[in-house]
Amino acid sequence: MKFENFYSPEDKLTWWGDGEWVTEPDKVTFEHQGIDCMVLRSAIEEPYTKEVCIFGGYLSGYISIPPNHPFYHKIFEKILIDCHGGLTFGECSDGHWIGFDCAHSNDYVPSIEHLKKTSPFMEDYRKETQELKKLYPSSIIWNKSYKNIQFCIDQCKSMAEQLIELGKDSKPDDS
């Protein structure tokens, strides 16, 4: 496995607050059963803010579909692979990659949660949230979880294994 960092711990603390993302790598590449895999941290500068505001901090996972696989260049929505939140990405410009993200409604997205806790503009939101928690204490939106590097590596390995199995018996349609 190859690990890379793009952002300093200080930047991560500033943009996303404290959490395990501060010390995690920002990119991991590896091969699993002959399938190239990658986990990548998202970080996008918000264009409409006066100060530097970096959205993201969450991870996404990807696998590459080999050119000899029956699903190479198939539309990702038609590939039946079970992964966190379902497949949300497909790109065929540099090979064929499919993937998932960890920014769903029950995921802890560091930039969003940090903003909710620290921004003076979010004071009304914090008050309303406290009231809603009293009304709906068991809602999953209060129990978000951060999907870490190991979670995403495991998801990529599972996706690679599923892709191999799908390729053994399947012939995709012409889409």
Q: How high is the pLDDT of residue 34?
A: 96
CB 77 within 8 A of CB 87: yes
| Domain boundaries of the chain, sorted by first residue | 2-169
Q: Which residues of the chain have pLDDT under 70?
A: 50-52, 171-175
Q: How high is the pLDDT of residue 171?
A: 63
pTM of the predicted model as reported, rounded to 2 decimal places: 0.88
Q: How high is the pLDDT of residue 87?
A: 96
Q: 50: which residues sit within 8 A by CB, 6+ positions away?
A: none
Strand ordering across the sheet containing 2-4: 2-4, 27-32, 35-45, 54-64, 97-101, 89-91
Q: How high is the pLDDT of residue 173?
A: 55
